[in-house]
Structures are given as structure tokens and as C-alpha cells.
């Protein structure tokens, strides 16, 4: 999965939860400690490099655990723990 797809999916989840809670973007952004512009971009999935404090704030504003917001979203560049020795080049001796 690409970072762009993951950002859109997180944004979709955030918007659905915000609407379920009947919060405006202004209210959600206030609770999260971010600007309304940041929140709007977040929901549209245009923030592919959101930082941890903002993601934690967004989850808090939505009454979610950050794990719920991010569950199942790993970019293509992430490998399984058992692959580390199979894919990483060995140092020369």
C-alpha cells in the first residue's frame, strides 16, 4: 500500500468518526490542538507525513486509541521482522 492510500484511508476513518460524534471540523481541530486547515487536509488524505503529536491529538479528539485510527496501514516499504536478515546487505569483512 502506498503512503497516499494510507493517508486517504486514515482521513476517511477520521471523517466518519467525527461525523458520528457530530463534531464540526472546527471543533475536532480545537480538541486535537491543530489548525482547521490541518484537519481538513488530514481528512482529505493530503497529509502523507503527519507527525506523531498531531496524529495522537486527532485520535484523542475523536475519542479513539491511535491504534484504531492506524490499524492495518503499513506502507510498502515496511518489512516483516523475520525479513531483516534476508533483505539487508551483509557488511563486508
Domain-located, residue 47: yes
Q: What angle do CA 56, 59, 61 make, to 5 degrees?
A: 110
Give the tens place of pLDDT for each residue, 26-42: 999 999 999 999 999 99
Which pLDDT value is given to residue 51?
A: 87
- The domain of 19 spans 3-82
Which pLDDT value is given to residue 33?
A: 97
3-state SS, 39-80, equals: HHHHHHCCCCCCCHHHHHHHHHHCCCCHHHHHCCCCCCCCCC
Domain-located, residue 57: yes
Q: What's this model's pTM, rounded to 2 decimal places?
A: 0.77
Count of structural domains, the chain: 1
Given a cut of 60, whether residue 88 has pLDDT beyond it is no
Amino acid at each position: 500500500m502506498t503512503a497516499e492510500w494510507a493517508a486517504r484511508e486514515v482521513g476517511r476513518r477520521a471523517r466518519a468518526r467525527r461525523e458520528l460524534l457530530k463534531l464540526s471540523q472546527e471543533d475536532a481541530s480545537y480538541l486535537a490542538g491543530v489548525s482547521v486547515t490541518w484537519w481538513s487536509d488530514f481528512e482529505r488524505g493530503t497529509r502523507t507525513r503527519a507527525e506523531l503529536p498531531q496524529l495522537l491529538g486527532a485520535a484523542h479528539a475523536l475519542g479513539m486509541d491511535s491504534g484504531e485510527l492506524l490499524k492495518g496501514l503499513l506502507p510498502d516499504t515496511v518489512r516483516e521482522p523475520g525479513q531483516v536478515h534476508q533483505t539487508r546487505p551483509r557488511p563486508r569483512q
